[in-house]
Amino acid sequence: MKEVQKRISSWLSRSYEYTNDIQLLRAIRESLIMIVPIIMVGAAALVLRTIPIKPYLSFVHHFAGGIIDTFLSLLFDATFGILSIYMVISLSMSYVDRVRHMPGNSLGAVFSSLLAFGISSGAFVKDANLSDTFGTKGIFTAVVCAVFGSYVYCRMRNNSRTGIHFYTDGADDVYNNMLKYIVPVLVVGVFAALFNLLLYITFGVHSFQEAYTNVVEAVFLRLHRSSLSAALYIFAVHFLWFFGIHGGNALDMVGNHVFEPALELNQQMLAAGKIPSEIFSKSFFDNFVIMGGCGSTICLVFSILLFEKKRSLRRLAKIAIVPAVFNMNELIVFGLPIVYNPIMLIPFFLTPLVCLFTSTVAMKTGLVPVVSYPVEWTTPIILGGYYATGSVAGSVLQIVNLLLGIMIYRPFIWTMSRQSAKDSSRKIGKLVSILKKSEETRIPVKLLELQGEIGSVVRSICDDLEAKIGKREPTMFYQPQYNNRGECIGAEALLRWNHPIYGRLYPPLVIQLLEEMEMLTKAEEVILETVLEDMDQIKAVYGEHIKISVNVTGTTIPLDHYEFFLAEMTEKYPQHIPNMMLEITEQASLQIDEDFIRRLNRIREMGYQLAIDDFSMGNTSIKYLQNNVFAMIKLDGALIKDIETNDRSRSIVQTMTRLAEEFHLQILAEFVETEQQKELLEKLGCFLYQGYLYSPAVPIEKYLNMAKES
């Protein structure tokens, strides 16, 4: 059994990797995610408009002449009513960027695709229903037209001979770019018109959308109500959904003509005093098979909330739970997304089919009465089962189906998360490479301004980082500091983050993101207070004279707010303040003036000790030593790394140790990795060390155990 599961998981992973490498499918997924805000607004409007509580509905429809209903209708019509248009625009833009890598050409692709969609949707056919053509029913047509229109446009733009060129002194770039759109847009329009004209001549249908809708409906109109037709209907609805087509709407005629009459027959039997026997009605499907929307996606939402750790997915599930309770699944289907996602294909099909089987068996055996009462499709689970059957057994059946669906979705969510983690590791590698290149070249980079998949990772990390700092839950590691006699005299507290999805993050990446988010000062405050909270157990092991260093950037230390925070900590943890060493990170831009020195003196008078981090022979470092406010200087790690091979590095270190001795300062060397480096530093007059020779930064538990093991 385990071997079978392993093979299935491996196949799903390979399928995910394969489809994830297909840029067209990635573009479609990306475009679906882009329209999620529109879906959220429309779903909210629909829920508020259809909550199945009679007093509430009466209020919505009649208050002030129905103004609330009109307001909600406007929101719904402007979102779901033209959802296909939003899809055309987002997919065209994503296609140009993701598939063709042609930035600056999105507008022409959008124009071409909209033109193709306007023709192929049948929107301008006499008596056309615009809400059908431009709404959710037109999603598949929108996808086809966006891909076709963008493809033709991009191919023709790459061919310089197809553009119209017009260069005069009075024609600006906007005008000349407009001319380049003309031929590709014209070609797309002509092709779309000819294709739809051919459909009309051959089959008598007015549009591509009408053609594929008629084909699907024709299959079911030849079938009668049975277990086979019910299973085929459920399969077809989900097959269409998986490819971005609103299956329920596309097969609405099938539901109304084939299955809806069953409810009327059951009501007639009830009126005649007979026991209803028709199981397969549209209300049966709505309440017991596709709970929470197609795919029984309320089961997926609960499964994510119960078992998923990724914060972005959990937040999506929390948002989607409200519309899912009212049987609207667009947010989770397009937001996860389920469409074009091979990993979610199996549970998306399997869950409703299992629910169909259990519900059919329950009603055929008489455990649950058949559906005999009309129920609004937005009625929440449990209530819907009771209202539809007139029995508590209906509610119990819904709960059983819900639990089955949760367990069906669970392993596939795990597989998707694991595969997503692999993909994320690759993206994190790219992100770290960008940052390291910036560090090497000293050319600054704004990570939050990055676009594409790397930009998405950055924003996801920032979102999680903001939550972690907001909850005051930093993960602190401690790197021990030793003297030349092998005694631990302190440690440097360092922020580390083992992200639940991306793994251990490169520390400078975390710091830079905090800085770009303008949360660095907040993070430094949280870090200091966390260390102060740890001091009781640290001093219990290492004694009252242990010193713990905490980094403070040159942008934080001059702030009045930070000084007030330090004063607050002295009142809260007075017994630990003498053990705290604030390491000021050297910055050439730091303004060292009399006000700044007075601030440092006030901080020192509170009881804090001050250190200069990454001390070198720079102008800023020398200015630091002009005033007697520091207790320690920490040598720049770049000097230590080549101290064995570089005479100048040794000379600089020796000069600094003499300065430190003259000014009665302690001096500590970082990045000490070998015994030879340590012995050489001792000869040069440096007697305090920190580095991998002794230990990397470790969690507090290991730092405390090191004292016991020594």
pLDDT digits 0-9 by tens, 525-558: 999 999 999 999 999 999 999 999 999 988 899 9
- Residue 136 in tokens: 């959710």
Query: Over 50: is that where the pLDDT of 287 sits?
Result: yes
Give how far Cα 378 sits from Cα of 24, 41, 60, Å.
34, 17, 16
Residues in the chain: 710
Q: What is the β-pairing status of strands 503-504 and 498-499? A: antiparallel
Of all residues in the chain, what percent are helix, strand and coil, respectively (each to 5)? 65, 5, 25
Query: Over 70: is that where the pLDDT of 623 sits?
Result: no
Question: Rounded CA gap, 220 and 240, in Å?
Answer: 14
The C-alpha torsion from 463 through 469 and 471 to 472, rounded to 10°, is: 170
Which residues, in sequence order, are bridge partners of residue 221? none
Mean pLDDT, residues 436-462:
82
Scan for tokens 């089955």, then name that residue: 404
- Residue 490 in tokens: 């302190």
Give how far Cα 345 sits from Cα of 16, 17, 131, 328, Å.
11, 15, 28, 19
- Residue 278 in tokens: 């028709």
pTM, full prediction? 0.60
Comparison of pLDDT for 624 and 677, the residue scoring more:
677
Query: Over 80: is that where the pLDDT of 159 sits?
Result: no
Cis peptide before 337 (omega within 30 of 0): yes
Q: Name the amino acid, one letter, at 469.
A: I
Query: Over 80: is that where the pLDDT of 26 sits?
Result: no
Alpha-helical (H) ranges within 95-138 are 106-120, 130-134
Residues 690, 696, 701, 705, CA torsion sign: negative
Model confidence band, residue 524 (pLDDT cutoffs 50, 70, 90):
very high
- Residue 705 in tokens: 């155990």
Query: Over 50: is that where the pLDDT of 619 sits?
Result: no
Residue 503 host element (H or E): strand 503-504
Mean pLDDT, residues 142-154:
91
Contact (CB, 8 A) for 306 and 314 = no
Collapse the DSSP code of 609 into the 3-class scheme (helix H, G, I; strand E, B; otherwise coil) and give the result. strand
- How many alpha carbons fall within 13 Å on the CB side of residue 178? 5
Q: What is the pLDDT of residues 102-115, one digit of tens each?
A: 666 688 899 999 99
Per the prediction, the chain carries an average pLDDT of: 84
Per DSSP (E only), the strands in 505-588 are 547-552, 580-585
Mean pLDDT, residues 180-203:
89
Comparison of pLDDT for 270 and 478, the residue scoring more:
478
Give how far Cα 11 sits from Cα of 5, 16, 629, 657, Å.
10, 9, 64, 62
Q: What is the pLDDT of residues 42-63, one digit of tens each?
A: 878 887 887 777 888 899 888 8
Question: Rounded CA gap, 541 and 46, in Å?
Answer: 62
389 Cα distance to chain centroid = 40
Residues 278-301 as b or e (16 or more Cβ within 10 Å = b):
bbbbbbbbbbbbbbbbbbbbbbbb
Query: Over 90: is that where the pLDDT of 169 sits?
Result: no
Q: What is the β-pairing status of strands 666-669 and 609-615? A: unpaired
Mean pLDDT, residues 266-287:
90
Compute the C-alpha angle 63/328/385, nearest 5°.
Answer: 90
- Return the pLDDT at 116: 94
Give how far Cα 57 sits from Cα of 48, 54, 86, Å.
9, 5, 30
Give how far Cα 623 sits from Cα of 308, 435, 459, 596, 667, Å.
53, 30, 39, 12, 17
- Return the pLDDT at 588: 47
Comparison of pLDDT for 614 and 171, the residue scoring more:
614
583 Cα distance to chain centroid = 35
Query: Over 80: is that where the pLDDT of 184 sits?
Result: yes
- Return the pLDDT at 445: 87
Scan for tokens 């097959």, then name that residue: 239
Collapse the DSSP code of 475 into the 3-class scheme (helix H, G, I; strand E, B; otherwise coil) and give the result. strand
C-alpha closest to that of 529 among 568, 498, 496, 558: 568
Contact (CB, 8 A) for 342 and 15 = yes
- Return the pLDDT at 465: 87
Query: Over 50: is that where the pLDDT of 387 sits?
Result: yes
Comparison of pLDDT for 545 and 161, the residue scoring more:
545
Mean pLDDT, residues 353-364:
95
The C-alpha torsion from 52 through 58 and 60 to 66, rounded to 10°, is: 140
Mean pLDDT, residues 680-692:
94
Question: Rounded CA gap, 590 and 582, in Å?
Answer: 16
Query: Over 90: is that where the pLDDT of 191 sits?
Result: yes
